[in-house]
Structure 1
Amino acid sequence: MAVSLKQLVNYCDSLLTPEKYRDYCPNGLQVEGRAEVRRIVSGVTASQALLERAVILGADLILVHHGYFWKGEPEAVTGMKKRRLQTLLRHDISLLAYHLPLDGHPQLGNNVCLAEQLGLQISGGLEPDNPLSIGLSGRLPGPLSASEFSQQIAIAMGREVLHIDGGPELIETVGWCTGAAQGYIDKAAALGLDAFISGEISEPTVHSARELGIHYFAAGHHATERYGVQALAERLAEQFDLEHQFIDINNPV
């Protein structure tokens, strides 16, 4: 089956409501390709490696979490940017990207999907007074030691987890926000949570965890954000009877 590109983009925009978010990049259709879509390739980041795999697979559209045209990046279409855009335009492939709207969606978002992967019970937003809170808070089904929880995260993510030991002996309550949201550790501590999970870690995060009395787990930017884009692409494949394949380009960060 096939769906018009316009219909598919309108469906995504209606579902994810990007107009509600103040983001660092344009959300939605970033590069326009052929008018009809039959095959979607999804991935975390629209890297050259993902584009080349999508070309081989005969994709009509690439769906990603990290697209192009970020605030503050050089505007000139040269070098890496030229090669990426040239690949898309030469093969008439569309690029569809959703950043914060995909992090925060209540059914398909990265943070909801991460909770499913880790078996976390969601209790609310990391910013309780913000209806668009990206991060979430919740509980473990039962208390775990920090080493037990670290191992559980590592198994689910398929990678080593960096743990900063700053909290109680047993972990029951957890906050999380995927990607580079290590700065939200202050919000998790303010809620009195035992632990906070994000993707990356910065030098100040270590001191914050120790001084605020909260465990911190850096589980990988790429690893924690693999799931929302897959959930969205599967929704599109089901809704419009399309082919879909997720390509996981290895990234150690």
Structure 2
Amino acid sequence: MVKRDEIVEFINNYLEIQKFKDSGTNGLQVPGKEEVEKVVFGVSASLELFQQAVKKGADMIIVHHGLFWEGSRWRISYLLKGRLKFLFDNNLSLLGYHLPLDAHPEIGNNTQIAKRLGIKITGKFGEYQGEAIGWEGIFQTPKRFSGLVKEIKEIFGFKPWYLKSGKDILKTVAVVSGGGAGIIPEVIDKKIDVYITGETREFIPQAAKEGGINYISAGHYNTEKFGIQALGELLKEKFKIKVEFIDIPNPL
């Protein structure tokens, strides 16, 4: 077993959470048992995840999308009440790490995506509140657009939404996991061949066409699975504790 607060302190320092001006609360959100033997990991906090964690014998849950966000921090809704009650009743700790887990250069969501797609990172990309969240780079081997779409479907287990408005043979690429649609002006300004993110929005089709760039939305949930899994492996190695990722599929 390991002390709860030792795990919290390690992750907070490792992810450098103090650097980020985030819309979500990073770190310990709900304190549970002081001693931890098993940690369950998931993308988003939900009652279903919490229930499965209890069945798996977890003492702590760590997620990318936690319970507390701007605009709701001082209001407990019926939804939040039910989730908190379950955590309290089962003495479960909940930790959440949002932007720091997207941006981390080793285990972050965007680094993990780049590794899986054979992207050589050349620089930071997608600044938000003073910190870059994603990466830009080049494919180590140029890819055809159709081949990249197929590869993304296989890696993410999700059929992506895409718009082909640029080159067929791709060399330059930018990656921002999750809700990165609003960063498209930077993609266009830098004349990047293809942009991979987690979501699309109403204005994207015309912006991509006018900018002459290719756009791929691989799903908010699915682009943010890899970082939390990598964090689990890191904690398993460092603290010699049991870890398990629980996948609760989300089509968005």
Same fold (TM over 0.5): yes
Are the aligned partners of 2:188 and 2:212 in contact in 1 as well (CA < 8 Å)?
Answer: yes
Deviation string 1:187-212 (CA, Å, 9 cap, x unpaired) is: 12212210101001001111111101
For residue 138 of structure 1, report the CA deviation from its aligned partner: 0.9
Aligned ranges 1:11-160 → 2 under 5 Å: 11-73=10-72, 75-127=74-126, 132-160=131-159
Greater fraction strand:
2
TM-score (norm 1): 0.95
Unaligned runs of 5+ in 2: none
Q: Distance in 2 between matches of 1:78 and 1:104?
A: 30
For residue 142 of structure 1, report the CA deviation from its aligned partner: 2.0
Moved more, 113-122 or 170-179: 113-122
Q: Distance in 1 between matches of 2:77 and 2:168?
A: 52
Deviation string 1:30-88 (CA, Å, 9 cap, x unpaired) is: 00001011100000001111000001111110010000111123743242111110111
Unaligned runs of 5+ in 1: none
For residue 144 of structure 1, report the CA deviation from its aligned partner: 2.1
Q: Does 1:239 align with 2:223?
A: no
- 2:132 aligns to what SS in structure 1? coil
- 1:44 aligns to what SS in structure 2? strand
Q: Which runs of 4+ in 1 moved over 6 A?
A: none
Q: Distance in 2 between matches of 1:68 and 1:233?
A: 19
- 2:174 aligns to what SS in structure 1? strand
Q: Distance in 2 between matches of 1:200 and 1:105?
A: 20
Determine what percentage of the aligned residue pairs are the same residue: 39
Are the aligned partners of 2:120 and 2:137 in contact in 1 as well (CA < 8 Å)?
Answer: yes
RMSD: 1.5
Match of 2:218 in 1: 219
Q: Distance in 2 between matches of 1:240 and 1:176?
A: 31
Are the aligned partners of 2:63 and 2:96 in contact in 1 as well (CA < 8 Å)?
Answer: yes
For residue 171 of structure 1, report the CA deviation from its aligned partner: 1.0
Match of 2:177 in 1: 178
Are the aligned partners of 2:187 and 2:195 in contact in 1 as well (CA < 8 Å)?
Answer: yes
Q: Distance in 2 between matches of 1:216 and 1:76?
A: 37
Q: Distance in 1 between matches of 2:2 and 2:73?
A: 34
Amino acid at match of 1:15: Y
Q: Distance in 1 between matches of 2:5 and 2:209?
A: 50
Moved more, 143-152 or 21-30: 143-152
Amino acid at match of 1:149: L
TM-score (norm 2): 0.96
For residue 121 of structure 1, report the CA deviation from its aligned partner: 1.5
Evaluate the alpha carbon distance shift between residue 29 and residue 84 of structure 1 in structure 2; reply closer, same or farther with a 3 A threshold: same
Q: Distance in 2 between matches of 1:114 and 1:36?
A: 33
Amino acid at match of 1:124: G
